[in-house]
Amino acid sequence: MVTEIKALSARIAEAYHHAKPLQIEGGGSKSFLGNPVQSDLCESIDCKGYAGIIDYRKDELMIRVKAGTKLAEVESLLAENGQRLPFEPPQFAGAATIGGVVAAGLSGPARPYLGSVRDYVLGVAFIDGRGIAYEMGGQVMKNVAGYDVSRMLVGSLGEMGLICDVSLKVLPADEVSATYAWLTSSVDAIADFQRLQKEGLPLSGSAWVEGQAFIRLGGSRLTIAHAAGLVAGEKLDEAEGVQFWQDLKNQQLPVFEGEGALWRVSVEPGSDALLDTAQVIEWGGGVRWLKNPAMNPRLATDPHTVTLFRPDQNEIDSPTSTPYQHLSGAVLVLNQNLKRTFDPGAILNPGRLLATVPEY
């Protein structure tokens, strides 16, 4: 297992030299995500050994962590100090690493109210597809020197470089949170979410799951006590509420189980796209989940908004499998140009984000 940047760098430089593709591995909790990489052609490069907290400055609201560090370890260190990662990344099977959190760019229930992974990334040290190491961004809150490459790496699924360490902004933890639930239609649930947000309630989560709406409030005891009066619905027992949001972000609710593909559609919260087919709605209405739908959602709505989140197990590795995301036009060209800049040999996780591997 590689434990030094130099060694990781040398490994990539060698692979570049020999035009040998590499598959970047972390905790493996999100191995389903993205287009399938032809693993039989790739050697794997394991980042789990490059782990540990580099710097935690509680009063700076900043933590700098090596990519192989377990998300659970970071979250528990922050919790001991009354802080948190506000973007609540999913753990999935529980082995998630910070490098994977940033490379996947997935955020949890608080995202519409507190921001996404990339909103909290201050800096990233990474190695490009030639084995060259870079430090982009930094550990400070405001930094406009040079292009914002570190935020661009969020969600790049390892195609632009191997993330070595990450500096994140953290926030104080909420004193308390409270979850409320009520039975309603998806249309009315979204209208309720939007109304509550406009009223300035301290929302930290909103979801609709098969006929039931859920919201979470977070803040000081006083604030929550005061806000409670403005919310209809039944207050869930605290442990039950915590469990619900955990299960939602880790996709462990029964609705996510079973055969068939899981699709994620990202739209304007108030949009009526796919409302009647989505089983789960999150983020105030902005994300709709479709489990095993009768029709490919890309045929039913703007295909750019649709992500094939978990492919049907039977279709994986089939040469005709549907791409992870749909890119077109100038945006596709820019993505390909950037891939060529960061990974000129197309050896890093080739195609995992950008299905059509550019021909070099």
186-225: contacts with other proteins (CB under 8 A): 194, 197-200, 202, 219-220, 222-223, 225
The whole-angstrom separation of Cα 344 and Cα 360 is: 8
Say whether residue 319 binds other proteins (CB under 8 A): no
For residue 48, the minimal CB distance to other proteins (Å) is 25
Show the beta-strand stretches assigned E in the chain: 22-25, 43-46, 53-57, 62-66, 83-84, 121-127, 133-137, 162-169, 171-172, 176-183, 203-209, 212-219, 234-235, 262-266, 280-282, 287-291, 306-310
The whole-angstrom separation of Cα 39 and Cα 51 is: 24
- Interaction residues for other proteins, span 157-186 (CB under 8 A): 160, 171-173
* DSSP classification of residue 61: T
| Alpha-carbon distances of 141 from 62, 137, 170, 249, 295, rounded to whole Å | 9, 10, 11, 27, 45
* Residue closer to other proteins, measured from CB, 82 or 211: 82
* Residue closer to other proteins, measured from CB, 10 or 133: 133
- Interaction residues for other proteins, span 47-66 (CB under 8 A): 57-62
The whole-angstrom separation of Cα 72 and Cα 43 is: 27
- Interaction residues for other proteins, span 104-133 (CB under 8 A): 105, 111-112, 115-116, 118-119, 128, 132-133
Say whether residue 271 binds other proteins (CB under 8 A): yes
Residue 211 zone, left/alpha/beta (φ > 0; ψ -120 to 50; rest): left
Say whether residue 31 binds other proteins (CB under 8 A): no
The whole-angstrom separation of Cα 281 and Cα 283 is: 7
- Interaction residues for other proteins, span 283-312 (CB under 8 A): 283, 286-287, 304-305, 307
Q: In what order do the strands lie in the sheet with 212-219?
A: 234-235, 176-183, 212-219, 203-209, 280-282, 287-291, 262-266, 306-310
For residue 99, the minimal CB distance to other proteins (Å) is 17
The tokens describing 266, both together, are 């990202």
- Is the dihedral angle over the CA atoms 53, 131, 134, 128 positive or is it negative? negative
* Residue closer to other proteins, measured from CB, 44 or 356: 356
Task: Name the residue type at position 4.
Answer: E
Site mask for other proteins (CB under 8 A), range 72-91, x = bound: ----------x---------
Q: Residue 284 class from Cβ within 10 Å (0-12 exposed, 13-18 middle, 19+ buried)?
A: buried
The tokens describing 302, both together, are 């703007």
* Residue closer to other proteins, measured from CB, 194 or 252: 194
* Residue 171, CA atoms < 13 Å, CB-side half-sphere: 17
For residue 125, the minimal CB distance to other proteins (Å) is 11
Of positions 179, 186, 204, 325, contacts other proteins by CB under 8 A: 325
> Per CB under 8 A, which region of 90-98, 235-243, 247-255, 281-289 contacts other proteins?
281-289
Torsions phi, psi of 305, nearest 5? -90, -5
Say whether residue 266 binds other proteins (CB under 8 A): yes
The tokens describing 322, both together, are 């549907």
Say whether residue 152 binds other proteins (CB under 8 A): yes
For residue 26, the minimal CB distance to other proteins (Å) is 19
Of positions 80, 276, 329, 359, contacts other proteins by CB under 8 A: 329
* Residue closer to other proteins, measured from CB, 211 or 270: 270
Of positions 46, 73, 135, 247, contacts other proteins by CB under 8 A: 135
Say whether residue 239 binds other proteins (CB under 8 A): no
For residue 173, the minimal CB distance to other proteins (Å) is 8
* Residue closer to other proteins, measured from CB, 70 or 151: 151
For residue 163, the minimal CB distance to other proteins (Å) is 14
* Residue closer to other proteins, measured from CB, 156 or 179: 156
Of positions 142, 237, 257, 258, contacts other proteins by CB under 8 A: 142
